[in-house]
């Protein structure tokens, strides 16, 4: 498995870093995890051809994770893509995404490639290829919006954290979370790599979890430029045993496991 950080920024637009997005490669399959505002430019700046992306998985629909989708599809169309594109989306959000693309004039009749919607259910392993699968578990990231569901009953508040697996390699990705408990959503698994966001959780809480439970190697992402001095200070003060385990990810950084 290969992980490439396409973007490590927060929801705040930055000239230095892209909104958070990962490319998870397993064998021949390239899965883009989230496609927020500016994703097309973000992929170009990382030297990743649109044609090589087999599927896009959405963790939730906040604009910094989702709103780049129609323009990315337009880019693929302009490059005369023929291969189908998979879109992995929670079952409650599939109609929203489908409708959004239609409303963006991306009509199936006018496309040279097919979009295959792969709706996944919560806490059910989804098989992508023979050796590559994921497990989504709902987290509390959008819990603060529950009160609005009375006014907007069709509003889906599904936001998930993910476990990616290739053979026996396990990678946990928190995506955007809402509380410290969300760090423990996959507590029965021992991951090789744990990727955590940092906008909605303190670095202290992440480090505490690293100590308490075996999170494997930890990569931190989804942070604002203004947070960097503070994060660097905290990371620099860690004892060696921990500083070797916890790393701050940068745009374009990639590793294989």
Query: Contact positions toward Zn ion, by CB under 5 A?
Result: 62, 176
- Which strand ranges, in their side-by-side order, compose the sheet holding 2-7? 115-120, 85-90, 55-57, 29-33, 21-26, 2-7, 254-256
- Alpha-carbon distance of 59 to 97, in angstroms, equals 13
Which CB, 95 or 178, lies closer to Zn ion?
A: 178
- Alpha-carbon distance of 57 to 31, in angstroms, equals 7
**From the CB of 82, what's the least distance to Zn ion, in Å?**
33
Which residues does residue 112 pair with via DSSP β-bridges, in sequence order? Answer: none
Which CB, 20 or 25, lies closer to Zn ion?
A: 20
- The token pair at 240 is 């060696």
**From the CB of 172, what's the least distance to Zn ion, in Å?**
17
CB 120 within 8 A of CB 158: no
- Alpha-carbon distance of 185 to 164, in angstroms, equals 13
Which CB, 31 or 177, lies closer to Zn ion?
A: 177
Which CB, 63 or 84, lies closer to Zn ion?
A: 63
**From the CB of 81, what's the least distance to Zn ion, in Å?**
28
Which CB, 1 or 32, lies closer to Zn ion?
A: 32
Which CB, 36 or 191, lies closer to Zn ion?
A: 36
Q: Is 159 helix (H, G, I), strand (E, B) or coil?
A: coil
**From the CB of 65, what's the least distance to Zn ion, in Å?**
6
Task: Return all residues near 152 (Cβ < 8 A) that are at least 6 apart.
Answer: none
- Alpha-carbon distance of 178 to 182, in angstroms, equals 7
**From the CB of 18, what's the least distance to Zn ion, in Å?**
15
Helix, strand, coil proportions of the chain in percent (round to 5)? 30, 30, 40
Residue 95 class from Cβ within 10 Å (0-12 exposed, 13-18 middle, 19+ buried)? middle
Residues 37-65 as b or e (16 or more Cβ within 10 Å = b)? bbbbebbeebebebeebbbbbbbbbbebb
**From the CB of 233, what's the least distance to Zn ion, in Å?**
26
Which CB, 17 or 62, lies closer to Zn ion?
A: 62
**From the CB of 243, what's the least distance to Zn ion, in Å?**
28
């Amino acid at each position: 498995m290969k992980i490439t950080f396409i973007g490590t920024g927060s929801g705040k637009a930055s000239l230095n870093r892209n909104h958070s997005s990962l490319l998870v490669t397993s064998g021949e399959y390239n899965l883009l995890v989230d496609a927020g505002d500016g994703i097309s430019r973000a992929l170009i700046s990382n030297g990743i051809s649109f044609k090589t992306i087999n599927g896009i998985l959405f963790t939730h629909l906040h604009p910094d994770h989702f709103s780049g989708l129609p323009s990315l599809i337009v880019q693929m169309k302009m490059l005369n893509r023929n291969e189908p594109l998979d879109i992995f989306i929670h079952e409650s959000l599939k109609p929203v995404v489908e409708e959004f693309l239609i409303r963006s004039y991306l009509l199936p009749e006018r496309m040279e490639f097919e979009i295959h919607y792969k709706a996944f259910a919560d806490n059910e392993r989804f098989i992508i290829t023979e050796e590559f699968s994921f497990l989504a578990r709902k987290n509390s990231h959008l819990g603060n919006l529950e009160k609005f569901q009375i006014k907007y009953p069709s509003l889906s508040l599904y936001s998930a954290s993910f476990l990616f697996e290739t053979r026996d390699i396990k990678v946990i990705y928190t995506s955007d979370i809402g509380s410290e408990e969300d760090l423990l959503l996959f507590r029965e698994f021992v991951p090789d790599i744990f990727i955590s966001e940092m906008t909605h959780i303190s670095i202290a809480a992440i480090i505490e979890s690293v100590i308490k439970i075996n999170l494997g190697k930890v990569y931190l992402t989804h942070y604002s430029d203004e947070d960097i001095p503070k994060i660097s200070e905290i990371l620099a003060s860690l004892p060696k045993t921990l500083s070797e385990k916890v790393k701050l990810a940068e745009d374009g950084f990639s590793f294989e496991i």
